[in-house]
Amino acid sequence: MSSEAPIQPPISPGPSDSGYGWLAREAVLAGGLVVLILSSMWLATGTFPPMVVVESKSMMHDEDGSVGSIDPGDLVLVMNMDRTEVVTFVEATQFGNENFGYESHGMPGDVIIYKKNGGSETPVIHRALLEVKANSSGGWDVPGTTLVNVENVSLTLDIDCRYHGGTQKMEIERWIPPNEGFLTAGDNNGCMIDQPSANSQGRGSGLVDSSGNPVLPIKEDWIVGVASSEIPWIGAIKLLTSGNHASVTSNTWNYLTLTILLILASPLIFDYSSSLIIRTDEEE
């Protein structure tokens, strides 16, 4: 009788040890991370999707783009209206107002995301200049100003019509509001107010909806949310895949490329740093 031990056949790798298993595991982890991030943003903002991608140059403060303002390719978190109140430009610039000095994305007042006349087309992301409210006596009130129960709105806003060093200010002259709501404008639109009926300086015709109707003062029901934190550059990937990337600046592409390279290199940097720490501990 032989005393030799039986030879065991080699154990084949299970599915989790194969290349496909590793890829599947990594895909599940990546997917879970994306879900976790989106869920956290949803809980924080109260809106879904919790962010929008900026497509146009209408809110830029610098020709090459800048962190802190809203540029093409930026991702902007959208805060639900139930969780915040809109602070208008005139409220943020009125001395003595509780919101005096408040700024968002490089200028006084909040930036809102709204649907033109409540339609289903791509929302607009522009600054809220002022709000008109109907007075019980039949006139109009403009919070953040001395205008109370007026028949029409005449006002000069401390906004340079040519944003880069201009001297002319935005003016609204004898405007009769068609309804309650917000007047809005892009920071980079040369003092053109979105609502055509309020434009009195020949700065542009304003905006129209998909049916060609002039955009009216923005009702609260038309507001998707208030622009919150900005995540620069990342949204340019979405614009590239959808073919809407013409407005994205070269600086954005450069910074986006650098960001992607840093993300890809981070595991190597982490491993190298860890090995240095272990080597130092062994030497001690």
**Residue 78 domain-assigned (yes or no):** yes
**Residue 174 domain-assigned (yes or no):** yes
Mean pLDDT in residue range 176-192: 93
Please name the residues in contact with 104: beta carbons below 8 A apart, sequence gap of 6 or more: 87, 110, 111, 227
**Residue 29 domain-assigned (yes or no):** no
Distance CA 64, CA 56 (A): 13
Q: What is 26-52 written as a DSSP string?
A: HHHHHHHHHHHHHHHHHHHHS-SS-EE
Query: What percent of the chain has a predicted confidence (pLDDT) above 70?
Result: 78
Q: pTM higher than 0.85, yes or no? A: no
Mean pLDDT in residue range 118-133: 96
DSSP 8-class letter at 82? G
Q: What's the structural domain count of the chain?
A: 1
Give the lowest-confidence range in 175-184, 204-213, 226-235, 241-250. 241-250
**Residue 10 domain-assigned (yes or no):** no
**Residue 45 domain-assigned (yes or no):** no
According to DSSP, the β-strands at 107-108 and 103-104 are: antiparallel
**Residue 265 domain-assigned (yes or no):** no
Tokens of 260: 């992607």
Task: Using the predicted structure, report yes or no on whether residue 164 has a pLDDT greater than 70.
Answer: no
Contact 215, 54 (CB under 8 A): no
**Residue 35 domain-assigned (yes or no):** no
Distance CA 9, CA 80 (A): 62
What pLDDT does 277 receive? Answer: 64
What pLDDT does 40 receive? Answer: 72
**Residue 200 domain-assigned (yes or no):** yes
Distance CA 104, CA 109 (A): 6
Tokens of 102: 């408040």
Residue 66 burial by CB count (10 A; 0-12/13-18/19+): exposed, middle or buried?
middle
Mean pLDDT for all residues in the chain: 84
Compute CA 70 distance to the chain's CA centroid, rounded to the nearest angstrom: 7
pLDDT in tens, 66-97: 888 899 999 999 999 888 899 999 999 999 99
Contact 107, 127 (CB under 8 A): yes
Of 271 and 137, the structure prediction assigns the larger pLDDT to 137
Give the lowest-confidence range in 37-51, 81-95, 152-166, 263-277. 263-277
Three-state SS at 242? helix
Compute CA 120 distance to the chain's CA centroid, rounded to the nearest angstrom: 19
Residue-number span of the structural domain to which 232 is assigned: 50-258
Give the lowest-confidence range in 101-105, 115-119, 241-245. 241-245
Distance CA 232, CA 242 (A): 18
Contact 283, 108 (CB under 8 A): no
